[in-house]
Amino acid sequence: MNTLLISYDLIGPGRNYPRLKTFIESHEYWAKPLESLYLVKSNRSSESLLNEILKIIDSNDKAIVINVTKNMASWKGLPNDVSDWIQNNL
């Protein structure tokens, strides 16, 4: 299973956050360390997940999905549950 980092900037006027949030959080394993950043566990590739996100967001929005499986990470100031999630799932 891959750990995928999803980051996005939704530009007005649409800014369909609820629909995007529902899609991302429909994955069984996910964490939200920052306002516009998620980590999810998925069998999908980064390209496949991005293609699904592109169906939800507007054409002027921005999104990136990066496979971070087994990569190193450092952070500061994240809640304990998010820190634990990252340590257990990267």
Element (H, E) at 88: helix 80-89
Q: What is the pLDDT of residue 22?
A: 96
Q: What is the pLDDT of residue 51?
A: 95
Q: Which domains are assigned to the chain?
A: 2-89 (3.30.70.240)
Q: Which residues 6+ apart lie within 8 Å of 42 measured at CB?
A: 1, 2, 4, 27, 49
Query: What is the token pair recorded at 24?
Result: 């991302």
**pLDDT tens by residue, 1-58:** 999 999 999 887 777 789 999 999 999 999 999 999 999 999 999 999 999 999 999 8
Q: What is the pLDDT of residue 81?
A: 92
